[in-house]
Amino acid sequence: MSSALVLPGDSIPLPPSSKPVVLGPGLAASSSRIRSPSSDAVPSIISTRLGTLSSFKGKEKSEQLWVEGSSKRYIPSQKDMVLGTIIARHAEGYRVDLGSAQMASLEGLAFEGATKRSKPNLKVGTLVYARVSLSTRDLEPEIECFDPNTGKAEGFGELTGGTMVTCSLQLCRHLLNPKFPVLSTLASTIPFEVAVGLNGRVWFKTEAVSESIAVKRVIEGIDSGEIKPEKGDVDKAVKSYLA
């Protein structure tokens, strides 16, 4: 699907594909149907924000659709991968800051292998990598630290050490695109672990402080526009910061 400017309330027909469609930020399912010139009425979706309609066909057998806008505040959307900071503990779990208008709820059982007798004991200030499991207009979002399809952590959970950088929502979504060369170019020079949250946060962990500083400066430079997100420019910037 080609990119197109959409307004709040615009009806958008589902793409002509047999693949299931995953709705991302800025889109909501509609109960109405749109008449197609070449076929009968087809289901539609509604845009909830101003921006550019974007799509991505990943390795999974599905197509992702979302509205790319200039919003600076994160709005939780189901199935989003996010980085959150635990700000409070209670009997059943934790309250987590995602940088959105509402705090998120994280149950103590929402971890791989967690039981009522054996649950993670996380402290206030702990950083976690999670997935949004529930997001509605009237209730606070819920997150989980495991993949519900496998029951395994799959990279979700507590993040220890490392550095977290706050950047634009748009850059984070680009970083999760395998065709976006920034992370692969950085990895060719600096070995590091990374977790990218669609809520405008990037966590990474390197072996040396100088490498962490270099990665941080490159991400911030690309987000500000000082560094172009091209392989040659990123490689040049990394080497200059490590020199």
Mean pLDDT over 3-20 rounds to 75
Of 125-129, 133-137, 181-185, the range with the lowest mean pLDDT is 133-137
Q: Provide the whole-model pTM.
A: 0.79
The residues facing 202 across adjacent strands are: 165, 196
- Beta strand segments in the chain, E: 4-6, 11-13, 21-23, 27-34, 42-47, 51-57, 63-68, 81-89, 93-97, 104-111, 127-134, 142-145, 157-159, 163-166, 192-197, 201-206
HSE, CB side, 13 Å, CA atoms: give it for residue 95: 8
The residues facing 94 across adjacent strands are: 89, 106
Q: Which residues of the chain are in CATH 3.30.1370.10 domains?
A: 163-242
Structure tokens at 99: 């940088």
Q: Which residues of the chain are in CATH 2.40.50.140 domains?
A: 81-159
Residue 241: helix, strand or coil by DSSP? helix
Predicted local distance difference test score (pLDDT) of residue 1? 44
Distance (Å, whole) CA 209 – CA 211: 5
Q: What is the CATH number of domain 4-68?
A: 2.40.50.100
119 contacts 109 by C-beta, under 8 angstroms: yes
Question: Can you name the CATH fold of 81-159?
Answer: OB fold (Dihydrolipoamide Acetyltransferase, E2P) (2.40.50)
Mean pLDDT over 1-24 rounds to 73
CATH class of the domain defined by 163-242: alpha beta
Confidence of residue 4 (pLDDT cuts 50, 70, 90): confident
More confident residue, 32 or 222: 222
- Check whether 35 has a pLDDT greater than 60: no
Distance (Å, whole) CA 142 – CA 133: 6
